[in-house]
Amino acid sequence: MSLLVVGSVAIDSVKTPFGVRERSLGGAAMHFSVSASYFSEVAVVGVVGEDYTDDDMSVFRERNINTENIQRIAGGKTFFWAGEYGFDLNTAKTLDTQLNVFGDFKPQLSDSAKKSPYLFLANIQPSLQREVREQVDCKFVAMDTMNYWIESAREELLKTLAVVDCVIINDAEARELAGESNLIKAAKKILTFGPKMLIVKRGEYGAALFTKDSYFATVAFPLESVFDPTGAGDSFAGGFMGYIAKHDNLDEGTIRRAIIHGSVMASFNVEEFSCDRLRRLTRPEIADRVDEFRKFTHF
């Protein structure tokens, strides 16, 4: 079944302790869609400027990602983000953000996009997320958000949380959104805001799933070298949503396996700059890592 994602398509400038890339493909919708494309059909709703070249667009073409809902603004510049990671690689220091065409982004959805059964609202303004959500007649919708919206647009965010099935955020965001330092308590509180499901991303420590009646947690795939964490969360969400769309099933077992697939996609994503590693991934490589996951967590 097909999957729609709305979010940023960006040009990044990334510095890590291992290297610098001045102009790399970025944006939540890009990372998400490349990851999800290994599992299901994906379409992106987004916007780019005139500087986003045909060569840049090839990342979508290569992975058969539908781009008919990506607007190209004549004379505009693509959303630009520059960031730097220290040795712990856990948090990026933002050096520059230029919203450019993303500042006036008005998502436009084709008729077929409006019929997507699976929808992911990547991290954008909560009111825009809701606007897209209301246009799509889907069976399962998940969303991301960030500390900026939790702090500056809480009321809007709560309205959006009320109309989604699943929230996928990191642990600091979960604690901040709930105003509660204990993660289990925070999760319970967030579930009272509307969503039936909360997935908490914990970086190198793994991920946890909370619903009203169940709990699941996993460690992360162990990596000896993390090169560039940019887009890890979006690759996770892409693998998760892509797996669910592929199986067109929302039972607990599918959701759990979707989290493992999301974790595997994130583990590949961080091994190289941008989506370099994901672009040349193979399905057997994904399957191998899922197998390994089972082996090193079974007791």
Distance, in Å, from the CA atom of 265 to the CA atom of 48, rounded to the nearest integer, reads 25
Which residue from 72, 216, 250, 279 is in contact with a copy of itself, where contact means CB under 8 A? 216
Task: Name the E strands within the chain.
Answer: 3-6, 10-16, 19-26, 42-49, 66-73, 79-85, 92-98, 118-121, 140-143, 166-170, 197-201, 207-211, 215-218
For residue 93, the Cα-to-chain-centroid distance in whole angstroms is: 19
Pick the piece of the chain touching a copy of itself (CB under 8 A) from 43-51, 113-121, 122-130, 204-212: 204-212
273, two tokens: 């700059």
Site map 156..195 versus a copy of itself, x via CB under 8 A: -------------------------xxxxx----------
**Is residue 200 involved in binding a copy of itself (CB under 8 A)?**
no
Which residue from 260, 265, 270, 275 is in contact with a copy of itself, where contact means CB under 8 A? 260
Residue with Cβ nearer a copy of itself (153 or 219): 219
Pick the piece of the chain touching a copy of itself (CB under 8 A) from 5-13, 97-105, 220-228, 229-237: 220-228
Q: Return the residue matching tokens 């994904």.
A: 286
Taking every pair of Cα atoms in the chain, the longest distance, rounded to a whole number of angstroms, is 58
Using CB atoms within 10 Å of the CB of residue 184, give its burial: 0 to 12 exposed, 13 to 18 middle, 19+ buried. exposed
**Is residue 97 involved in binding a copy of itself (CB under 8 A)?**
no
Which residue from 91, 115, 288, 296 is in contact with a copy of itself, where contact means CB under 8 A? 296
Residue with Cβ nearer a copy of itself (80 or 85): 85
**Is residue 96 involved in binding a copy of itself (CB under 8 A)?**
no
Residues 236, 123: contact at Cβ < 8 Å? no
Binding-site ranges for a copy of itself (CB under 8 A): 87-88, 181-185, 202, 204-206, 208, 214-219, 222-226, 253, 256-257, 259-260, 294, 296-299
